[in-house]
């Protein structure tokens, strides 16, 4: 199965509208708060205003256009983008790359909690110009709560209006900007990098204003994450339109600030001040719609991120639903609840967008730094670029992003409580990944061929009650001739399991996102069969459905005999008798752990208990599944000497 990119790389009016509706919400709504955050309560002067706009312009050029639009979009994993897609492309080139992948995903997910409240709050606060002292917090909470509530129904019905709505939004940005630039055309000189240099190095505390400047590019990571929805060409072409509208609006706001006549902003937002009075209500409605669309894109992106994390073994299995027939659209109830609670707590804690601006940006700088690290590996090992050229690119972006990071570190005191959320996400991913590695290390594989004849004997032994016609085990063995030793023990130990056909099914997670294929190896004709299902990391496993389709294909091709049950029940029920065996591990009481390993494994099994069961995670019907528990003996306790007391 191929990704949507085959079609989405075609450039049409419709595809460009999709790109505008999906990927530019975050970066497209930044004019609501960026210039206001840069100026703040400072006295208005030419160095501050022109320097601020100059820094915005060059940030959009270097960070968004050069790094993401030109470079990062080259890292196309079968049409899919995002930090996990990039990690899947380069993970073989360095074991330590798992850390930047986890850090980047953690901070990107954290961004999904602060972006919706700051965007929606910035738009709704425009109403204060119409109704002074209006309590905006309850309005923002209601809008966000409704947004999260409607996630379960999917967005296919309203998704069609996202593109046209964002065209109206960006057109409004452009027109409002032009209306002010004509009054102060000298503002165009702000594009000269000298003004940015003066702000950062000569203006008192100017360097620390980079924390506010950075807000103009926080949505750049979303451009790459949504590559699969829109395609590289559509993103690059639509970005030209978006970038012009953004820059014109920033210049228009700066022009208004320079000729409005007051020495201080005194809480006014230049974005709403440049609107004519007669247009203000309409402008606020359009802005609110744009922020809701931006929030929707981030929420959907969070679902995709967690789905990929589960498939790459970074996150416990949780329930995933598909609210519509639209390919790639998923809904994860547990993530929805976490994001909703996080967003509501954000708005209750910070109260308004000005306070959130002071805390926003830190997370996404880390995401961008981690993307730069992974991207450098991609350029060297996949595209075979000259190492010195890649080193030069790495130094350039490391300098820019480290500067932004240092400036944003000052925000930690404003967002200390937010660090707990990021630490929680990071620890879940770190624990899950490393504990699974330990778990897999103690999984012993054996050659299935050695047991094939014994299995055949068991299958034909009429003295043993038949367990099932078709007995299916899920195995992690990549080698087509191997299975886990615990599977062999399950077949022969205690009560031997007699069946007509023994199947060993392996789900192979591929680096490509939408692969769905299989291959079959018969060790004994019609008796012992190994099936490997190749599933991309964006494919939701539906193992039983796939398996039954494979059996159907084999029967049609006359490669498999569907056995008639000896009790005659086949006459009344022609459906094959399938029984899946799922082997679950638990920590044996015989283990003695070091503190680190004990914490790691106990946390892993605790998280596993909170998540989905394996039968649900792999898409198996409960009625067809038998779960067997086996102990994990990681560090056996020291031999115990018991002394018998004489009577």
In a domain, 640, yes or no: no
Looking at 407, 433, 459, the residue that finishes a domain is 433
Looking at 433, 466, 488, the residue that finishes a domain is 433
The tally of domains found in the chain comes to 2
What DSSP string runs through 342-387?
HHHHHHHHH-SHHHHHTTTTHHHHHHHHHHHHHHHHIIIIIS---H
In a domain, 3, yes or no: no
In a domain, 641, yes or no: no
Q: No. of H helices and E strands in the chain?
A: 26, 8
Looking at the structure, tell me whether residues 287 and 390 fall in a common domain. Answer: yes
Show Cβ contacts of residue 90 under 8 Å, excluding neighbours closer than 6 positions.
97, 374, 377, 378, 381, 382
Residue 105 sits in a domain whose CATH number is: 1.20.1740.10
Looking at the structure, tell me whether residues 411 and 455 fall in a common domain. Answer: no
In a domain, 538, yes or no: yes
Predicted pLDDT of residue 22: 83
Looking at the structure, tell me whether residues 566 and 608 fall in a common domain. Answer: yes
536 within 8 A of 515, measured Cβ to Cβ: yes
d(CA 396, CA 108): 22
Looking at the structure, tell me whether residues 121 and 246 fall in a common domain. Answer: yes
Looking at the structure, tell me whether residues 428 and 474 fall in a common domain. Answer: no
In a domain, 177, yes or no: yes
In a domain, 22, yes or no: yes
* In the chain, % of residues over pLDDT 90: 42
User: What is the chain's mean pLDDT, rounded?
Assistant: 86
Looking at the structure, tell me whether residues 48 and 129 fall in a common domain. Answer: yes
Element (H, E) at 173: helix 156-181
Looking at the structure, tell me whether residues 297 and 389 fall in a common domain. Answer: yes
Looking at the structure, tell me whether residues 463 and 589 fall in a common domain. Answer: yes
pTM of the predicted model, to two decimals?
Answer: 0.82
d(CA 488, CA 483): 8
Among 427, 422, 420, 419, residue whose Cα is nearest residue 606: 427
- Which DSSP category does 326 fall into? S
Looking at the structure, tell me whether residues 519 and 385 fall in a common domain. Answer: no
Mean pLDDT by 10 residues, the chain (647 residues): 47 85 88 93 93 97 95 87 91 91 92 87 90 90 93 71 93 97 94 95 93 92 81 91 97 95 90 94 95 88 86 85 65 90 90 83 92 95 94 95 92 78 90 84 83 90 87 86 88 86 88 83 84 82 85 81 54 69 76 72 81 75 80 65 78
Looking at the structure, tell me whether residues 493 and 611 fall in a common domain. Answer: yes
Residue 398: domain span? 12-433
In a domain, 71, yes or no: yes
Show Cβ contacts of residue 512 under 8 Å, excluding neighbours closer than 6 positions.
77, 78, 536, 537
How far from 458 is each of 112, 240, 489, 501, 594, CA to CA, in Å?
Answer: 55, 69, 13, 11, 43
Looking at the structure, tell me whether residues 496 and 611 fall in a common domain. Answer: yes
Looking at the structure, tell me whether residues 304 and 170 fall in a common domain. Answer: yes
């Amino acid at each position: 199965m191929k990704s949507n990119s085959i079609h989405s790389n075609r450039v049409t009016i419709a595809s460009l509208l999709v790109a505008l509706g999906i990927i530019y919400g975050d970066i497209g709504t930044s004019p609501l708060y960026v210039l206001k955050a840069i100026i703040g309560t400072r006295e208005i002067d030419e160095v501050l205003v022109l320097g601020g706009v100059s820094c915005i312009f060059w940030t959009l050029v270097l960070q968004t256009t050069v790094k993401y639009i030109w470079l990062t979009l080259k890292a196309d994993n079968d049409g899919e983008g995002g930090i996990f897609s990039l990690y899947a492309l380069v993970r073989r080139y360095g074991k330590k790359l798992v850390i930047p992948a986890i850090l980047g995903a953690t901070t990107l997910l954290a961004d999904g909690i602060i972006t919706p409240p700051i965007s929606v709050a910035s738009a709704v606060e425009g109403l204060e110009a119409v109704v002074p002292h209006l309590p905006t917090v309850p309005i923002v909470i209601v809008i966000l709560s409704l947004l999260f509530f409607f996630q379960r129904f999917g967005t296919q019905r309203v998704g069609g209006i996202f593109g046209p709505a964002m065209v109206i939004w960006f057109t409004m940005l452009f027109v409002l900007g032009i209306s002010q630039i004509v009054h102060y055309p000298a503002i165009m000189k702000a594009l000269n990098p000298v003004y940015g240099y003066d702000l950062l190095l000569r203006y008192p505390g100017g360097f620390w204003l980079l924390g506010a400047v950075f807000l103009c590019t926080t949505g750049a990571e979303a451009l790459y994450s949504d590559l699969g929805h829109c395609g590289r060409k559509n993103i690059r072409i639509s970005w030209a339109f978006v970038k012009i509208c953004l820059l014109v609006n920033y210049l228009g706001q700066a022009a208004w600030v320079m000729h409005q006549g007051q020495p201080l902003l005194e809480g006014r937002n230049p974005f709403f001040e440049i609107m004519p009075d007669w247009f203000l209500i309409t402008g606020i409605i359009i802005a609110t719609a744009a922020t809701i669309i931006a929030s929707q894109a981030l929420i959907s992106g969070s679902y995709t991120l967690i789905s990929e994390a589960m498939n790459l073994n970074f996150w416990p299995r949780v329930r995933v639903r598909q609210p519509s027939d639209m390919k790639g659209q998923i809904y994860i109830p547990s993530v929805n609840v976490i994001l909703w609670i996080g967003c509501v707590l954000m708005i209750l804690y910070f109260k308004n967008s000005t306070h959130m601006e002071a805390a926003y940006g830190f997370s996404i700088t880390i995401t961008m730094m981690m993307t730069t690290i992974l991207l450098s590996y991609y350029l060297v090992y996949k595209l075979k670029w000259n190492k010195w050229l890649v080193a030069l690119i790495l130094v350039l972006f490391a300098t820019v992003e480290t500067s932004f990071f240092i400036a944003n570190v000052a925000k930690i005191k404003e967002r200390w409580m937010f660090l707990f959320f990021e630490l929680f996400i990071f620890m879940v991913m770190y624990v899950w990944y490393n504990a699974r590695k330990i778990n897999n290390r103690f999984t012993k594989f054996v050659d299935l061929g050695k047991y094939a004849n014994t299995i055949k004997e068991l299958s034909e032994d009429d003295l043993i009650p038949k367990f099932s016609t078709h007995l299916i085990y899920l195995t992690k063995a990549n080698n087509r001739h191997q299975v886990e030793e615990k599977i062999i023990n399950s077949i022969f130990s205690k009560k031997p399991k007699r069946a007509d056909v023994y199947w060993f099914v392996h789900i192979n997670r591929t680096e490509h996102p939408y692969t769905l294929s299989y291959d079959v190896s018969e060790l004994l004709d019609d008796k012992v069969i190994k099936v490997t299902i190749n599933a991309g990391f964006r494919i939701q496993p539906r193992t039983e459905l796939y398996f039954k389709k494979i059996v159907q294909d084999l029967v049609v091709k006359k490669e498999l005999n569907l056995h008639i049950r000896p009790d005659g029940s086949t006459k009344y029920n022609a459906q094959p008798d399938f029984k899946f065996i799922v082997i679950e591990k638990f920590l044996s009481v015989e283990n003695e752990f070091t503190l680190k390993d004990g914490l790691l494994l106990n946390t892993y099994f605790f998280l596993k208990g909170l998540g989905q069961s394996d039968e649900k995670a792999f898409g198996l019907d409960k009625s067809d599944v038998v779960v067997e528990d086996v102990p994990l003996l990681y560090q056996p306790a020291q031999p115990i000497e018991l002394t018998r007391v004489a009577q």
